[in-house]
Chains A and B, each alone.
Chain A
Amino acid sequence: MTSHIKMDERVERDRLAEMVQAVIGKPLDRPEGALKVSGAAPYAMDRLPANACHGVLVRATVSNGTLRDMDVDAVQALPGIRAIIADDRLLRNPAQGMAGEAPIQGPKDIAYFGQPIALVVAETFEQARHGAQALKLRFEADGTAIVAPDDPKADIETPEDEQDSTGDLDAAMQTARHTVDAHYTTPGHVSAAMEPHASIAEWNGDRLTLYGSYQMLRFNRAELADALGIEEKQVRILAPYVGGGFGSKLGIGPEAVAAALAAKALGVPVAVAMSRQQVFESVMRRSETDQHIRLAADEQGRLIGIGHEALVSNLPGEEFSEPVTQATPFLYQGDHRVIGHRIARVHRTCAGSVRAPGEAVGLTALEIALDELAAASGIDPVKLRLINIPQKDPSQDIPFSSHMLAEALEEGAKRFDWDRRRSEPGAVRDGEWLIGMGMASAARVNMLIESKARVTLNANGTGTVETDMTDIGTGTYTVLSQIAGEMLGLPMDSVETLLGDTAYPPASGSGGSFGAASNGTAVLLACEEIRQQLCERLDCDMQGLTLKDGHAIVGNRRIALPEILDGSRLVGEGHVEPGKAEETVRQATYGSYFAEVAVNAITGETRLRRMLGVFAAGRILNPKTARSQCLGGMTFGIGMALTEELIHDPRDGHIVNRDFAEYHLPVNADVPQIDVVLLDERDAWANPLQAKGIGELGICGAAASIVNAIYNATGIRIRDLPATLDKIIDGLQSRTD
Chain B
Amino acid sequence: MTISVSMTVNGKTVSGDVEGRTLLVQFLREQLHLTGTHVGCDTSQCGACVVHVDGQSVKSCTILAAQANGTEVVTIEGLADGATLHPMQEAFREHHGLQCGFCTPGMLATGYDIVRRLPDADEARIRRELSGNICRCTGYHNIVKAIKAGAEKMSAA
Q: In the complex, are the beta carbons of A669 and B127 less than 8 A apart? A: yes
Contacts A30-B96, A668-B144 given; does A194 touch B45 at CB 8 Å? no
Q: In the complex, are the beta carbons of A39 and B94 less than 8 A apart? A: no
Q: Which residues of B contact A277 (CB under 8 A)?
A: 42
C-alpha gap A671/B108 in the complex (Å): 19
Q: Which residues of A contact B21 (CB under 8 A)?
A: 126
Contacts A37-B98, A275-B42, A668-B127 given; does A126 touch B22 at CB 8 Å? yes
C-alpha gap A312/B69 in the complex (Å): 53
Q: For A660, give its contact among B26, B45, B79, B141 (CB under 8 Å).
A: B45
Q: Which residues of B contact A628 (CB under 8 A)?
A: 96, 99, 137-139, 142
Query: A410 near B: Cβ within 8 Å?
Result: no
C-alpha gap A124/B75 in the complex (Å): 23
The secondary structure that dominates the A interface is loop
Contacts A33-B93, A276-B43 given; does A632 touch B101 at CB 8 Å? no
Q: Which residues of A contact B60 (CB under 8 A)?
A: none
How near does chain B come to A270, taking the closest CB pair, in angstroms?
A: 14
Q: Which residues of B contact A629 (CB under 8 A)?
A: 99
Contacts between the two chains (Cβ within 8 Å), count:
172
| Interface residue range, chain B | 35 or more
Query: B38 near A: Cβ within 8 Å?
Result: yes
Q: In the complex, are the beta carbons of A125 and B26 less than 8 A apart? A: yes
C-alpha gap A266/B100 in the complex (Å): 33
C-alpha gap A447/B19 in the complex (Å): 51
| Interface residue range, chain A | 35 or more
Q: In the complex, are the beta carbons of A196 and B40 less than 8 A apart? A: yes
Q: Which residues of B contact A254 (CB under 8 A)?
A: none
Q: In the complex, are the beta carbons of B96 and A195 less than 8 A apart? A: no
Contacts A30-B93, A668-B140 given; does A242 touch B39 at CB 8 Å? no
Q: Which residues of A contact B39 (CB under 8 A)?
A: 45, 196, 273
**Interface digits, B75-109 against A, CB 8 Å rule (1 contact, 0 not)?**
11101100001000110111010111111110010
Q: Which residue of B lies closest to A196 (CB)?
A: B40
Q: Which residues of B contact A632 (CB under 8 A)?
A: 99, 136-139
Query: B131 near A: Cβ within 8 Å?
Result: yes
C-alpha gap A48/B35 in the complex (Å): 10
Query: B9 near A: Cβ within 8 Å?
Result: no
Q: Among residues 100 to 134 in chain B, which have CB atoms less than 8 Å away from a CB atom of chain A?
A: 100-105, 108, 127-128, 130-131, 133-134
Q: Which residues of B contact A474 (CB under 8 A)?
A: 99
Contacts A37-B98, A39-B77, A243-B100 given; does A194 touch B140 at CB 8 Å? no
How near does chain A come to B83, taking the closest CB pair, in angstroms?
A: 10
**Interface digits, A90-129 against B, CB 8 Å rule (1 contact, 0 not)?**
0000000000000000000000000000000000111000
C-alpha gap A38/B128 in the complex (Å): 24
Query: A475 near B: Cβ within 8 Å?
Result: yes
Query: A546 near B: Cβ within 8 Å?
Result: no
Q: In the complex, are the beta carbons of A29 and B93 less than 8 A apart? A: yes
Contacts A34-B93, A194-B40, A196-B40 given; does A244 touch B35 at CB 8 Å? no
How near does chain B come to A238, taking the closest CB pair, in angstroms?
A: 15
Q: In the complex, are the beta carbons of B102 and A39 less than 8 A apart? A: no
Q: In the complex, are the beta carbons of A674 and B141 less than 8 A apart? A: yes
Q: In the complex, are the beta carbons of A243 and B42 less than 8 A apart? A: no
How near does chain A come to B116, taking the closest CB pair, in angstroms?
A: 17
C-alpha gap A30/B98 in the complex (Å): 10
Query: A473 near B: Cβ within 8 Å?
Result: yes
Query: A36 near B: Cβ within 8 Å?
Result: yes
Q: In the complex, are the beta carbons of A37 and B41 less than 8 A apart? A: no
Contacts A674-B139, A674-B141 given; does A45 touch B35 at CB 8 Å? yes
Other than the given A39-B36, A661-B43, A668-B128, 6 more pairs (CB < 8 A) read: A631-B142, A635-B138, A635-B139, A660-B46, A665-B134, A665-B136
On B, residues with C-beta under 8 Å from A are 19, 21-22, 26, 29-30, 34-43, 45-46, 48, 75-77, 79-80, 85, 89-90, 92-94, 96, 98-105, 108, 127-128, 130-131, 133-144
Q: What are 11 A-B residue pairs whose CB atoms fall within 8 Å in the complex?
A: A38-B80, A41-B101, A48-B30, A194-B46, A194-B135, A194-B136, A194-B137, A242-B100, A244-B102, A473-B137, A674-B141
